[in-house]
Amino acid sequence: MTLPKAYAITGASVLVLILGGVLTGLLYDPKDPNNLAMLCFRITCGATAIIYLLGMAVWAGAKGWHPIIGVLLGLFCSLIGLVILLFLPDRSAQRGALEKL
């Protein structure tokens, strides 16, 4: 797990959210409440959440923390969890030194 991979996955969640929002806006018909836009909106929200949590897990793992920490921060703290994860100390160098022993 590397930090650039984590950045790419987390950024992909933002891209999915933007593209899904645009597609939902294009499909929206105010006269029909049971339209395709609602399905697109739900799929977009679910995919964004899954990709975001995956990115947080990879990011935590790349910094030397257990990936569950990243998932829990992303799940319960949302964007504040992203900031917390950003400021968590990097333990990957310490873990690499311990594995060499």
Cα separation, 19 vs 28, whole angstroms: 14
Question: What whole-number percentage of the chain has pLDDT above 90?
Answer: 71
Q: Count Cα atoms within 13 angstroms, Cβ side, for 32.
A: 9
Q: Is 72 exposed, middle or buried (0-12, 13-18, 19+ CB in 10 A)?
A: middle
pLDDT in tens, 23-80: 999 988 888 877 888 899 999 999 999 999 999 999 999 999 999 999 999 999 988 9
Cα separation, 4 vs 26, whole angstroms: 33
Cα separation, 54 vs 49, whole angstroms: 9
Model confidence, pTM: 0.85
Decide: helix, strand or coil at residue 33.
Answer: coil
